[in-house]
A and B are shown apart, each in its own frame.
Chain A
Amino acid sequence: MSRVAFINFLSLLIYKHRSKHIAIFCISTLLITLLSSVLFISSSIKYDVFKTLNAQPDFIVQKIRGGRSVDIDNNLADKFRKIRGISDAQPRVFGRYFIANQMEYFTIVGVDFFEEELESEFKELFKNLDIKRFLQEDSMIVGDGVKNFLKENHYNNYFNFKTPLGENKKVTIFQTLPKESNLIGNDIIIMDVELAREILGVEKNRATDIILNVPNDAEKDNIKFKLLSLNYDTRVITKEDIKNSYEHLFNYKGGLFLLLFIISLLTFMLILYQRYSMINSNDKREIGVLRAVGWSIKDVLKLKVLESLTIGLWAFVLGVVLGYIFVFVLDAPLLRNIFIGFNNLQNSVSFTPVIDFGLLFSLFLFFIVPFVASILIPVWKIAIIDPIEVMK
């Protein structure tokens, strides 16, 4: 069979049968758009979260009393630094600031700007910060959500915090966190550690927790054991623990959606199979004519496979492109909130364009194989019966 003549005929047939294919094409495109959107969102969030988590310390040590986390003694950081294998140990001050009348929370993070072993993400963030000017008066760097919230409440340049002692503390907004950090930094306020202590009510020689880094991965379990045996009343959280809990969360959400869409996809394939099983007399006649004029069963099946493959392939490509635009250009309206969660502060996240080609290929196989099969099996059943009977 001449390949060019065959392809010419295939193209002609697809064009002439366009009204027959349009519904299948549209439903397939819609399903692929939804499925690929879920995959894009999930991949993008994972990428952003893990990128942020990778910059986090290896261990977080908290003091536990009565099952609750309480402030920890700063001196413990010096004690931890002496343990072989720990490269640095830093006390951190952070906490939540509750605005009762609005029922909103901010997360306040205290930073010691003169600390040499500042966390790498802060170092990057403060690269262009005029620290001297920042510390001249009580200032803060706020996340996008915080800034918007304050603006809505007419605090354009500052906010009056209330300390646990009941005093007002006026803090000026110095700058806003970059938009890329919105996924995690939306409700964050960064300020000098001493100011944070005052607002959160953390005593001078105490911290919220202590962070540690262990350069040798093989030593991590050993260090964790040492920390727990030295301090019976502490809880040690590893970076892997946090990663795992995030991974479970996104896999769970993404998995639920994938399951839902895969059920829709299978239902669609079943409908497609039914539609071709109840193939109308005209379609049957066409197959019969081809067989009668010398086309083998193989030729007929090849024609139908390529016909459905072309439609499926175009639907897939268009679905993926639409999914890409929906997620990375339009920021996935509706779907976004399901994945990111309805924050206490309105979050305006931009998804980082990340494509997991492995997952996309799996989706392609998962779509195209049942798609072609659901058309091919009924066609094959017709192709093997007597064409003259079919045509009558």
Chain B
Amino acid sequence: MIKIKNLNLIFNQETKKEFSALKNINLKISKNELIILKGVSGSGKSSLLSLISALLKPTSGEIIIDNRAISKLPEHHSSKFRAKNIGFVFQSFNLFDQLSVAENISLPLIPLGHNQAKIDKRVKEVMKLANISHKASQNIKDLSGGEKQRCAIARALANDPKIILCDEPTANLDRKNSLLFIKLLKELKNLQKTIIIATHDPLFDEVLFVDKVINIEDGELL
């Protein structure tokens, strides 16, 4: 499903500040796999997620998702691809603090062109799935860390994506909420989602349903 070929990412190319974030990455991820991308801060995990989600373009090499070279798509098309196929869960949740839970979850559905009724219906479905329906009209700033995480997961599921990318999803959670998140991951895997988690949380070492653990160091896969 995801094929990464000879991928390189260099920042500030041909300047004194030139920095290779990713070096010659080759990787294959099948449908419905749960992948752990392990590495310390600055190892290149987030950059790889940015490239897979077509938020960044590689310096060289390519990323093919479902036979489509997404690394070569122009910006408008890569946004469309992302809107339809990618769900993101971030370390610090990255929710709009002034908006309610339901309003935050509706964000990925707006560029898809759904009408308001369809958006509202889908928001209700994913809130139920992430067990956050009871907080639908609450503002984000009034939620606990675990509730914010569930809201972020609901937002990532709103567009019914094939791929879910999680960047350090448990970094701001206590152990109890981290375990709840891992439990939710299993449900997502059961929904046939492909999940890539960039983390250095040792808690994921104990997760049995992980298909592959990939270690990354200084931009290179080990």
Contact = CB atoms under 8 A, between A and B. Distances in A.
B119 interface: yes
A6 B110 contact: yes
Contacts of A8: 116
Contact of A391 (B79, B92, B109, B119): B92
A386 B75 contact: no
A292 B79 contact: no
A392 B46 contact: yes
Nearest to B46: A388
B94 A296 contact: no
Contact of B110 (A5, A292, A297): A5
B107 A290 contact: yes
B98 to A, nearest CB: 4
A294 B80 contact: yes
Interface stretch (A123-131, A280-288, A306-314): A280-288
Nearest to A295: B111
Interface string B55-99: 110000000000000000001100110111010101110111111
Contacts of A285: 94
A233 interface: no
Interface residues of A, number: 31
Contacts of B96: 16, 286, 289
A9 B96 CA distance: 12
A82 interface: no
Nearest to A285: B94
Given A282-B97, A297-B75, A391-B90, A2 B115 contact: yes
Contacts of B97: 282
Nearest to A384: B75
B55 A299 contact: no
B188 interface: no
A276 B155 CA distance: 28
A259 to B, nearest CB: 40
A23 interface: no
A187 B142 CA distance: 69
B75 A289 contact: no
B82 A388 contact: no
Contacts of B55: 291-292, 386-388
B107 A293 contact: yes
Interface size band for B: 35 or more
B94 A292 contact: yes
B169 interface: no
Nearest to B77: A296
Interface string A261-294: 0000000000000000000001001101111111
Interface in A355-392: 386-389, 391-392
Contacts of B106: 5, 9
B56 A288 contact: no
Contact of A16 (B82, B88, B98): B98
Interface in A301-322: none
A294 B46 contact: no
Contacts of B116: 2, 4-5, 8
A1 B119 CA distance: 12
B160 interface: no
B94 A289 contact: yes
B49 interface: yes
Contacts of A297: 75, 79
Contacts of A288: 94
A298 interface: yes
Given A2-B116, A386-B55, A391-B92, A299 B50 contact: no
A12 to B, nearest CB: 6
Contacts of B92: 391
Nearest to A292: B88
Interface of B: 46-47, 49-50, 53, 55-56, 75-76, 79-80, 82-84, 86, 88, 90-92, 94-99, 103, 106-116, 119, 155, 159, 167
27 contacts: A1-B110, A1-B113, A2-B110, A2-B115, A2-B116, A4-B116, A5-B106, A5-B110, A5-B119, A16-B96, A282-B97, A286-B96, A292-B53, A293-B82, A293-B155, A294-B84, A294-B159, A295-B79, A295-B110, A296-B79, A296-B80, A299-B79, A386-B55, A389-B46, A391-B90, A391-B92, A391-B94
